[in-house]
């Protein structure tokens, strides 16, 4: 027993450092019970990295038109590894997938709920080193009895939980790693009607697209977001809101989005403009234009975007988790931004914003006349990186 060893207060079993839940009974670990200083990783040989934070099975990548390659996403503190299923182990993973399909049908539970509720608990099939902060929700409590009765005896992906990264990379010649420092951003899109839940990783070296089955998309997205920007406990302050960011068609998505860009001290959060909110904004703009006409003037370009009473200013008080709740929403860490070009263009023309990131630029367009306002929001969080 080591001096820093801690134990679960409910079942008394030893707790693994860094875990948020007991791996035996599933009880949450009190934060004050955790060691104040991280325990060094003791390696059998020099250069071995810490063990994975999370393991996400049942992913695949398309290979040609009619072929796919199955993989498991293994997430380490400083990198992710795409671990393709070796030929010799394909029967194991196929059997596990059938087990999951069977349980979903027997319990009449959606894949999303199944994996989110099971993630990180010792009572179910999905033992991970990572768990969502908001795991214990009303739905989770409601469905604990269901999960207690779920049994997936074949869990071949769990072998990765005790494998250092070198061992995972050596397992199959197709396996490859993506360092966190090389990732620009991670985003996804879920379409339950067509089972095309996909995670897209934009990084130095190109785009990696992973399609997940049976609800794995949702815990994978949360785990990857936690990996990309660690330290979720520290309070994160929202500093400004930039509305009406139009995105040109992006590879991997069949249509463009209009974002509300929420600028914090750590990241740029892209929150999709919902139809109901868009209708509210249209109504507000028409009211302001009418008020201006009644006083004998016209609204000028870029005037409304600065208004403190605008509907989008409500995003200043929203929690970070709620801003990322929609599965298409994503963020860009400020630390990955290399530079930003802000192009005002001529009167009546859209303002262009080009964010230079590892792997290439991300382009957006904003309403005419908004360049000054956008610059005033971005300059404090990206000092020396904004080119106007």
Shared domain for 210 and 242, answered yes or no, is no
The answer to the question of residue 85 being in a domain is: yes
Shared domain for 245 and 213, answered yes or no, is no
For residue range 109-147, list pLDDT tens digits in order. 666 666 555 543 333 333 333 334 444 444 445 445 544
Shared domain for 244 and 214, answered yes or no, is no
CA distance from start to end of the chain: 59
Shared domain for 201 and 112, answered yes or no, is yes
Residue 157, pLDDT score: 86
DSSP secondary structure, 155-220, as one string: -GGGGGGG--HHHHHHH-TT-EEEEGGGEEEEEEE--TTTT-EEEEEEETTEEEEEEE-TTTHHHH
The answer to the question of residue 99 being in a domain is: yes
Q: Which long-range contacts link 188-196 to residues 24+ away (Cβ below 8 Å)?
A: 188/217, 188/221, 188/327, 188/328, 188/330, 189/252, 189/253, 189/327, 189/328, 190/217, 190/218, 190/327, 192/110, 192/112
Task: Count how many domains the chain has.
Answer: 3
Residue 347, pLDDT score: 87
- Give the pTM: 0.78
Helix (H, G, I), strand (E, B) or coil at 104: helix
The answer to the question of residue 43 being in a domain is: no
Comparing 346 with 113, which gets the higher pLDDT? 346
Among 194, 228, 262, identify where a domain stops.
228
Burial call 292-309: b when 16+ CB within 10 Å, e when fewer: eeeeeeeeeebebbeeee
Q: What is the mean pLDDT of the chain?
A: 80
Shared domain for 76 and 205, answered yes or no, is yes
Shared domain for 165 and 272, answered yes or no, is no
Comparing 284 with 231, which gets the higher pLDDT? 284
Taking residues 96-112, what's their average pLDDT? 71
Shared domain for 19 and 164, answered yes or no, is no
The answer to the question of residue 233 being in a domain is: no
Shared domain for 332 and 360, answered yes or no, is yes
Shared domain for 194 and 245, answered yes or no, is no
Q: Report residue 255's pLDDT band, with 50, 70 and 90 as the boundaries.
A: low
Candidate from 139-148, 278-287, 330-339, 376-385 with smallest mean pLDDT: 139-148
Shared domain for 6 and 79, answered yes or no, is no
CATH assignment of the domain containing 307:
2.30.29.30
Of 339, 350, 344, nearest in space to 388 by CA: 344
Can you tell me which residue has the tokens 């989005």? Answer: 257
Q: Print the domain residue range for 95.
A: 50-228
Shared domain for 246 and 209, answered yes or no, is no
């Amino acid at each position: 027993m080591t001096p820093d060893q801690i134990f679960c207060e409910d079942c008394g079993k030893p707790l693994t450092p860094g875990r948020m839940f007991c791996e035996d009974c599933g009880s949450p670990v009190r934060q004050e019970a955790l060691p104040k200083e991280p325990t060094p990783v003791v390696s059998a040989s020099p250069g071995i990295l810490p063990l994975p934070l999370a393991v996400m099975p049942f992913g695949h990548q398309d290979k040609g038109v009619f072929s796919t390659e199955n993989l498991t996403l293994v997430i380490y503190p400083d990198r992710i590894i795409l671990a393709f299923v070796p030929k010799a182990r394909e029967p194991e993973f196929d059997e596990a997938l059938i087990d999951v399909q069977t349980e979903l049908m027997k319990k009449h539970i959606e894949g999303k709920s199944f994996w989110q509720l099971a993630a990180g608990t010792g009572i179910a099939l999905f033992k991970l080193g990572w768990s969502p902060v908001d795991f214990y929700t009303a739905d989770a409590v409601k469905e604990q009895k269901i999960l207690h009765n779920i049994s997936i005896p074949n869990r071949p992906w769990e072998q990765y939980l005790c494998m250092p990264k070198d061992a995972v990379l050596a397992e199959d010649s197709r396996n490859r790693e993506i360092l966190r420092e090389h990732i620009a951003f991670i985003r996804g899109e879920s379409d339950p009607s067509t089972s095309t839940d996909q995670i897209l990783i934009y990084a130095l070296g190109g785009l990696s697209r992973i399609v997940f089955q049976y609800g794995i998309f949702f815990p994978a997205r949360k785990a990857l977001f936690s990996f990309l920007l660690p330290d979720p406990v520290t309070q994160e302050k929202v500093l400004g809101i930039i509305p009406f960011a139009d995105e040109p068609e992006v590879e991997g998505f069949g249509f463009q989005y209009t974002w509300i860009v929420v600028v914090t001290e750590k990241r740029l959060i892209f929150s999709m403009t919902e139809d109901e909110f868009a209708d509210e904004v249209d109504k507000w703009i028409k009211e302001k234009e009418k008020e201006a006409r009644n006083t004998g003037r016209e609204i000028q370009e870029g005037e409304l975007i600065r208004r403190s009473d605008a509907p989008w200013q409500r995003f200043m008080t929203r929690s970070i988790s709620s801003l990322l709740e929609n599965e298409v929403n994503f963020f860009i860490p400020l630390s990955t931004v290399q530079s930003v070009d802000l192009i005002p263009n001529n009167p009546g023309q859209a303002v262009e914003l080009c964010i230079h990131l590892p792997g290439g630029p991300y382009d957006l367009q904003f309403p005419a006349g908004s360049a000054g306002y956008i610059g005033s929001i971005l300059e404090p969080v990206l000092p020396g990186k904004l080119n106007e």
